[in-house]
Amino acid sequence: MKKSIFLFTIILVLASCGSPSAEEQLSSAEAEKEELENLLQTETVKLERNSVKLETLETEISQAETSQNDDNVQLYIDTVDEYTSSLVAELESLNELIQEDSGTENYNNLNDNIDSIIQNIDETISTYETEVSSLELNETLLRRHNSLEVAHADMSGALEQIKTGAANNDTETVQEGIASLNSISEFY
């Protein structure tokens, strides 16, 4: 009898350790199918997004090729070069003043010179806008111009925040203004 119970136990253990049932296999296959469908859908969305980006890029290249001889394009490029070099010079001056005053209890250098820097930046922006207003911009250049106009508005706010922080000897406000100024780079 012990032998028969022992054999019966071995048969039960072996039967329970056998291959998965058809239901388990079907369930596993359905889960894999759903996972693959989700992956395919994600990849399809990525492909569509990349296709749109590629079409936009091809359009911009086409416009650039057709406008290479366009005087407006060359004038815009020259205007942006002047604008950029002037803006970079003023921002470097601002950075030097902030560096000079860092670690001190007040912002004497920055307070003495920030109005001049803000005025120079405003003049640079004004000159850019005046020169660009007389140009006929294609779609690509118009998008770039609109992006710069958004940056101009944000830049004015950031400079005023730095000025206010310096006037109040508030390092935190100056740092927030600097961070705001740094975040404008996405528009350039």
89 with 151, same domain? yes
78 with 57, same domain? no
103 with 148, same domain? yes
Separation between Cα atoms, residue 136 and residue 30, nearest integer Å: 59
Residue 4 lies in a domain: no
pLDDT band at 43 (very low <50, low <70, confident <90, very high): low
Name the 3-class secondary structure at 103.
coil
Check pLDDT > 90 for residue 123: yes
What would the mean pLDDT of 31-58 be, rounded to a whole number?
70
Residue 56 lies in a domain: yes
Q: What's 129's domain CATH number?
A: 1.20.120
Q: Which tens digits make up the pLDDT trace of 55-107?
A: 776 666 566 655 555 777 888 888 888 988 898 899 888 888 888 887 777 88
- Nearest Cα to 181, choosing from 160, 159, 164? 159
Separation between Cα atoms, residue 20 and residue 111, nearest integer Å: 78
Residue 3 lies in a domain: no
Q: Which tens digits make up the pLDDT trace of 2-30?
A: 555 655 566 655 555 556 677 777 888 78
In the numeric block, the tokens 């404008």 are attached to 184
Determine the pLDDT at residue 115. Answer: 93
What would the mean pLDDT of 137-154 be, rounded to a whole number?
86
Taken in order 132, 154, 170, 85, is the CA torsion positive or negative?
negative
Determine the pLDDT at residue 20. Answer: 65
Residue bearing the bigger pLDDT, 41 or 19? 41
- How many structural domains are present in the chain? 2
95 with 57, same domain? no
Residue 176 lies in a domain: yes
What stretch of H or E contains 3? helix 2-16
Select the highest-mean-pLDDT range: 101-115, 117-131, 137-151, 164-178.
117-131
CB neighbours of residue 152 within 10 Å: 19
Domain with 136, as residue range(s), is 70-187
87 with 159, same domain? yes
152 with 181, same domain? yes
154 with 80, same domain? yes
What would the mean pLDDT of 101-114 be, rounded to a whole number?
84
102 with 38, same domain? no
Taken in order 85, 88, 94, 98, is the CA torsion positive or negative?
negative
